[in-house]
């Protein structure tokens, strides 16, 4: 029986979106050895995924030797030249990947010896990942996320926040995003949170970079909402799991909340919520079509798509989710 080498290096949200494919693979081949090649940050997520025998961090000592095995199937979910080269480097007898229309870097297809016929890029990216398993005879479209956070981790997060979490489940407002085009304006967050002062929730501002921390501090000072301390990726997962709901742009925090079955309000601009957003019927999305919608640009002179998402609209969605799940 072959073993499997999963290749999904980054980003954190994309690693989350690959977990259902891993779960389906694990169910079909429960006796096979499963290894995963990942970037350094992603290891913190995979540490809490049962069934991965070896988490191989690219660039760590001896990582190339750990992935080389002939009696192995390498599956590249990333679709880049780098990830395709890692599949080839692994010397796996079978190297699976997407075909040219579904690759971020089409040259990657030359590293595979079996490719999935083109699939729709309009469906959710989780479905795209699951469909790659059709090359192994697996036709499973269930969204399952095998993340098993420990009680020790939850306890550390509880201790870190102290009285704040003792008041009840936090309502997380994540103000940051890796792309500038995904960041909702600071003044809009202030408007929404100021209007929620009489709502029975325990709001908490979340951030990830120094720039986002600065924005959070401004919002917190204007509204009186608590600002979270710096959190590791694993601590962030535990905090999100404890939340009543999450309001966030299209970023890792949103993907984590969806995976952990936490209600969300997603704020979308240049990316497609149908492809990258929430997938449960109870979740809510603020999104407006413009002429250049779904451009997936990291920079933009106007960000008209995101600016059309108004504080009144988001406030209405938050009130709906509080009423349903608060």
Q: What is the pLDDT of residues 184-243, one digit of tens each?
A: 999 999 999 999 988 889 999 999 899 999 999 999 999 999 999 999 999 999 999 999
As given in the structure block, the two tokens for residue 43 are 């290891």
Question: According to the model, what pLDDT value does residue 301 have?
Answer: 84
Question: According to the model, what pLDDT value does residue 63 have?
Answer: 98
Residues of the chain with pLDDT > 90, as a percent, come to 88
Question: According to the model, what pLDDT value does residue 46 have?
Answer: 98
The better pLDDT of the pair 167, 310 is held by: 310
The better pLDDT of the pair 44, 176 is held by: 44
As given in the structure block, the two tokens for residue 190 are 């202030």
Report pLDDT digits (tens) over 125-160. Answer: 999 999 999 999 999 999 999 999 999 999 999 888
Kind of pairing between the strands at 72-76 and 54-57: unpaired
The confidence band for 178, taking pLDDT boundaries of 50, 70 and 90, is confident
Question: According to the model, what pLDDT value does residue 302 have?
Answer: 84
Report pLDDT digits (tens) over 54-94. Answer: 999 999 999 999 999 999 999 999 999 999 999 999 999 99
C-alpha distances out from residue 35 to 3, 46, 70, 83, 174, Å: 8, 10, 14, 15, 32
pLDDT higher than threshold 90 for residue 166: no
Rounded average pLDDT over 96-114: 97
Helix extents (H) in the chain: 12-28, 43-46, 63-67, 81-89, 125-132, 151-161, 163-166, 186-194, 210-223, 233-241, 252-259, 273-276, 304-307, 311-325
Which of 3-7, 134-138, 178-182, 280-284 is least confident? 178-182
- Residue that has been written with the tokens 């050895």 in this structure: 33
Average pLDDT, the chain: 95
Q: Torsion-angle region of residue 190: left (phi > 0), alpha (psi -120 to 50) or beta?
A: alpha
Residues of the chain with pLDDT > 70, as a percent, come to 98
Check the CA dihedral 94-99-102-107 and report its sign: positive
Domains, the chain, with CATH or none: 3-136 (3.40.50.2000), 156-325 (3.40.50.2000)
Which of 74-83, 167-176, 255-264 is least confident? 167-176
Q: Cα(33)–Cα(48) distance, rounded to whole angstroms?
A: 17
As given in the structure block, the two tokens for residue 197 are 């002062």
Q: Cα(14)–Cα(94) distance, rounded to whole angstroms?
A: 23
Which pTM does this prediction carry?
0.95
pLDDT higher than threshold 60 for residue 297: yes
Question: According to the model, what pLDDT value does residue 326 have?
Answer: 55
Question: According to the model, what pLDDT value does residue 1 have?
Answer: 66
Which of 15-24, 130-139, 291-300 is least confident? 291-300
C-alpha distances out from residue 105 to 53, 75, 111, Å: 29, 16, 12
């Amino acid at each position: 029986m072959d073993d499997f080498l999963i290749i999904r290096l980054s980003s954190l949200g994309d690693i989350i979106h690959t977990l259902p494919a891993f779960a389906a693979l694990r169910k079909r081949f429960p006796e096979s050895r499963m290894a995963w090649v990942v970037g350094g940050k992603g290891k913190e997520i995979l540490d809490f995924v049962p069934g991965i025998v070896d988490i191989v961090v690219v660039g760590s000592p001896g990582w190339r030797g750990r992935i080389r095995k002939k009696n192995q199937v390498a599956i590249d979910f990333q679709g880049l030249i780098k990830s395709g080269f890692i599949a080839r480097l692994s010397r796996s007898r079978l190297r699976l990947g997407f075909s040219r229309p579904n690759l971020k870097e089409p040259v990657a297809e030359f590293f595979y010896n079996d490719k999935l016929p083109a699939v729709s890029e309009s469906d959710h990216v989780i479905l795209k990942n699951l469909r790659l398993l059709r090359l192994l005879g697996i036709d499973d479209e269930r969204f399952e996320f095998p993340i098993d956070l420990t009680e020790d981790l939850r306890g550390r997060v509880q201790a870190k926040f102290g009285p704040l979490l003792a008041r009840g489940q936090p309502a997380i407002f994540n103000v940051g995003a890796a792309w500038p085009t995904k960041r909702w304006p600071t003044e809009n967050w202030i408007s929404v949170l100021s209007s929620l002062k009489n709502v029975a929730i325990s709001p908490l501002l979340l951030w990830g970079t120094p720039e986002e921390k600065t924005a959070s501090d401004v919002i917190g000072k204007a509204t009186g909402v608590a600002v979270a301390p710096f959190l590791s990726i694993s601590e962030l997962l535990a905090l999100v799991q404890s939340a009543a709901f999450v309001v966030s742009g299209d970023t890792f925090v949103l993907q984590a909340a969806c995976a952990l079955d936490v209600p969300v309000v997603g704020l979308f601009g240049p990316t497609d919520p149908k492809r990258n957003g929430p997938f449960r019927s109870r979740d809510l999305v603020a999104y407006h079509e413009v002429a250049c919608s779904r451009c997936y640009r990291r920079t933009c002179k106007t960000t008209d798509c995101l600016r059309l998402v108004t504080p009144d609209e988001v406030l209405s969605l938050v009130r709906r989710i509080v009423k349903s799940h608060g």
